[in-house]
Amino acid sequence: MMRSGIQSSILVGVLGALFACSSKSAPTGGGGTSSSLTDLMKARNLSEADVNAALKTYTPSGRMDEYLAFSSGGHSGQVIVIGLPSMRILKYIAVFTPEPWQGFGFDDASKAVLAGGKRFGHDLTWADTHHPALSETAGDYDGQYLFIGDKANARIAVIDLKDFETKQIVTSELIGGDHGAAFVTPNTDYIVETTQYPVPLGGGYADPAKEFKAKYRGAAVFWKFDRAAGRIDPAASFAVEFPPYTQDLADAGKLVSDGYAFFNSINTELAWGGNQEGNPPMESSYSKNDMDYLHVVDWKKAEALVKAGKTETINGMKVIRLEVAAAEGVLTFVPEPKSPHGVDVTPDGQDIVVGGKLDTHGTVFSFAKIKAQIDAKKFESKDPYGVPVLSFKDSIRGQVELGLGPLHTVFDGQGNAYTSLFLETVVAKWSLKDLKVTDKLPTHYNIGHLTAAEGDTVSPDGKYLIAMNKWALDRFHKVGPLLPQNFQLVDISAPKMQLLYDMPLPLGEPHYVQIIKADKLKPIDVYTPGEDPMTGKKAEFAVEAGKERVERKADGVHVYMTAIRSHFTPDIIRVKQGETVKLHVDNLEQAYDATHGFAINSYNVNISIEPGEHNDVTFVADKAGVFPMYCTEFCSALHLEMAGYLLVEPK
């Protein structure tokens, strides 16, 4: 839709023409004067560049956005859906944190999804969502599923983009937390999750002061995705054990490098903390070594080893042990400069770009060079755990001088790379061919990740980039000591980058984002009548119009209820104190947007029932009394009348 190359510098010319002209010309229509545009610019203190940016982002009433961005919600535990270029938030998707508007964590089915994420018997009501990953087919986003990792608790969630709802949460107690998660292999065979902070695998106890090197480990879990079922299959999943280096970000190979995955690491120093036990603070002990290790994993070989039974099962997860991975060529190391952070495979799959956050360079590794050494078993050394180490200089294509604090790199598909420089607080644009910086754009402030349209695929779109800035400071009106983050939308369609828009993030500290062309998404409008959204099938307890009823069974009082504008049937529920109530509620509507809510006073019952949807809610009516129940979603002019009572007769 938008043409490239319309830069503010050009608009200066346009406005120059307007101003020059307006002093001579009479108005030509509408009763206005040609100074009105200047009046408006003056009144709102807008520059020509502002006008240009406004017209590139403003999206009139009823007009659709061209791209959708799926953003992690950071430690809100949710996913944020943002339209581009308007930068309007279209939805928060409840993922790991119970959220009442969506009824997530309130009905029986979504409670079961959340229960899938329990660890060591503990309910977890939050997550630190980090990297969202859209499902891919042949290395391109296909718009079907979204996965996201929880750094805090080593969990992966599966969101179905059919209805934008979370369908599954998986976790393995093999590991303690993750960071390089979620990312997908090019056909979404696997969703990969890599540890950050090492622990004794499987949940045991070991004192790091004595046994860090011997007992602590990292791992990459390869979660098998069953696309037909739309679910991860834990039984078909496996892990590869790593040394207790702090593994960091990760990316899958693609095209020529398909079958491989790349993980970087910090802390080859094996620091574990203990700043009140005689050790230096971790941030200094982590940074002693000049080189850490890029982990290269041949996951197709790993898959074959799993099939061959060369695994050990630890706390329910099949693990390729470190010595096997090293001996069988599943795991190889390449030295990488100084506390690297991001690792990003280029769209053609040929290079791997690593940002060494305490280095001023981006290092461009060549997959072909790495592969040639591995195939020739040409190893320079082994690490203390026996993992073969390649030659750094034989593995790189070159380095690009970027500036202070390079973190992550994304691509535009026209041969350009864009790297975030945290300390310098800029986006650096550079040529993949020449390894030279061609432009820098200041960000506000302290950019972490950045993302580009379809940027993680084999065919990036270019066009838009989002700088995900960690500090907002003076960008927005003050809202107390906890500030929003600032996403800055950047036009990358011309040689020079242009800042278009500052967007505050009102809930959560987003970590990473993927941007997909909006027309790839085909969500449903309504559910099939009686559908259980979790199974996609007719629910066991689906209720049809005219068949509303109450049945007392051994497991409780089953209330079969329907909702349609503007009443619930039945609108009175009579139970006896202490009875278990099993509500089955169907929204009979098939009109788009005709959602009903259902809430019961003082009982923490609250569900969202979209058109056609079936919901089940179980609770114990332990307190006697009269409890109003009503529709919480404004549905008609007589919405307030869509109400009734739960009557709990005293024992």
- Give the footprint of a second copy on residues 534-563 (CB under 8 A): 548
Minimum distance from residue 77 beta carbon to a second copy (Å): 6
Contact in structure between 147 and 191 (CB atoms under 8 Å)? yes
Q: Least Å distance between CB 213 and a second copy?
A: 14
Determine how many CB atoms are found less than 10 A away from the CB of residue 514: 24
Q: Under the criterion CB under 8 A, does residue 613 sit at the interface with a second copy?
A: yes
Are 58 and 86 in contact, with CB atoms under 8 Å apart?
Answer: yes
**How far is the CA of 412 from the CAs of 419, 496, 651, in angstroms?**
12, 13, 69
| Cβ distance to a second copy smaller for residue 107 or 189 | 107
Report the amino acid identity of residue 51.
V
Binding residues among 307-366 for a second copy as defined by CB under 8 A: 341, 357-358
Name the minimum Å distance from CB 379 to a second copy: 29
Smallest CA-to-CA distance from 427 within 333, 337, 513, 498 is with: 498
CB closer to a second copy, 205 vs 384: 205
Piece of the chain touching a second copy by CB under 8 A; list 97-105, 254-262, 321-329, 330-338: 97-105
Binding pattern for the stretch 556-595 against a second copy, x by CB under 8 A and - elsewhere: ----------xx-xxxx-------------------xx-x
> Among 125, 236, 247, which Cα is nearest to 191's?
236
Tell me the Cα Rg of the chain.
28
Q: Cβ distance 375 to 388 under 8 Å? A: no
First to last CA, the chain: 67
Q: Which amino acid is located at 541 in the chain?
A: F
- CB 510 to a second copy: min, Å: 10
Binding footprint of a second copy, residue count (CB under 8 A):
209
Residues 371-430 that bind a second copy (CB under 8 A): 405, 422-423
Q: For residue 583, what are its two tokens?
A: 């509500």
Residue 480 as a binder of a second copy (CB under 8 A): the answer is yes
C-alpha span between 192 and 247 (Å, rounded): 13
Nearer to a second copy, 225 or 527 (CB): 527
Q: Does 473 bind a second copy (CB under 8 A)?
A: yes
- Is residue 471 a contact point for a second copy (CB under 8 A)? yes
Cα distance between residue 331 and residue 327, in whole Å: 8
User: Contact with a second copy (CB under 8 A): which of 288, 307, 436, 623?
Assistant: 623
Are 567 and 546 a contacting pair, CB within 8 Å? no
Minimal distance in Å, beta carbon 515 to a second copy?
Answer: 13
Which residues neighbour 450 within 8 Å (Cβ) at sequence distance 6 or greater? 408, 410, 418, 419, 420, 427, 465, 466, 467, 468
Contact (CB, 8 A) for 321 and 238: no
| Residue numbers 26-55 binding a second copy by CB under 8 A | 26-37, 39-41, 43-47, 50-55
Under rule CB under 8 A, residue 488 binds a second copy: yes
Interface with a second copy in residues 627-646 (CB under 8 A): 627-628, 630, 632-635, 637-638, 640-645
Q: Which is nearer to a second copy, 129 or 185 (CB)?
A: 129
Q: Which of 69, 72, 92, 331 binds a second copy (CB under 8 A)?
A: 92
* Closest among 556, 540, 551, 561 to 621, alpha carbons compared: 556
- Between CA 631 and CA 612 the distance in angstroms is 16
Contact residue for a second copy among 136, 165, 193, 412 (CB under 8 A): 165
Contacting residues for 235 by C-beta, under 8 A, at least 6 apart: none
Part of the chain binding a second copy (CB under 8 A), chosen from 90-98, 295-303, 345-353, 431-439: 90-98
Residue 644: CB atoms within 10 Å: 20
Site for a second copy in 253-282 (CB under 8 A): 266, 272-277, 281-282
By C-beta, is 154 or 305 nearer to a second copy? 154
| Residue from 472, 492, 513, 617 in contact with a second copy (CB under 8 A) | 472
Query: C-alpha distances in angstroms, 598 versus 46, 326, 628, 643?
Result: 47, 56, 11, 9
Region 297-316 residues binding a second copy, contact defined as CB under 8 A: none
Least CB distance to a second copy at residue 257 (A) = 26
Ranges within 179-238 binding a second copy (CB under 8 A) = 179, 196-197, 199-200, 203-208, 216
10 Å CB burial of residue 236 (0-12, 13-18, 19+) is middle
Buried b / exposed e over 462-471, threshold 16 CB at 10 Å, is: bbbbbbbbbb
For a second copy, which stretch binds (CB under 8 A), given 171-179, 228-236, 365-373, 538-546? 171-179
Among positions 190, 411, 527, 541, the unique one binding a second copy when judged by CB under 8 A: 527
CB of 619 to a second copy, least distance (A): 10
Q: Which of 16, 386, 398, 495 binds a second copy (CB under 8 A)?
A: 16
Give the residue, chosen from 481, 553, 554, 555, that forms a contact with a second copy under the rule CB under 8 A.
Answer: 481
Which of 71, 72, 102, 451 binds a second copy (CB under 8 A)? It is 102
> Nearer Cβ to a second copy, position 392 or 471?
471
Pick the binder of a second copy from 149, 356, 448, 455 (CB under 8 A). 448
Comparing CB distances to a second copy, the nearer of 302 and 588 is 588
**Residue for token digits 């690490």?**
383
Closest C-alpha among 18, 38, 14 to residue 28: 18
Q: How many CA atoms lie within 13 A of 235 on its CB side?
A: 0
Residue nearer to a second copy on the CB measure, 142 or 351? 142
What's the per-residue H, E or C state across 136-150? EECCEEEEEEEEEEE
| Residues 55-84 within binding reach of a second copy (CB under 8 A) | 55-65, 68, 73-77, 80-81, 83
Provide the minimum distance between the beta carbon of 195 and a second copy in the complex, in angstroms, as a whole number: 9
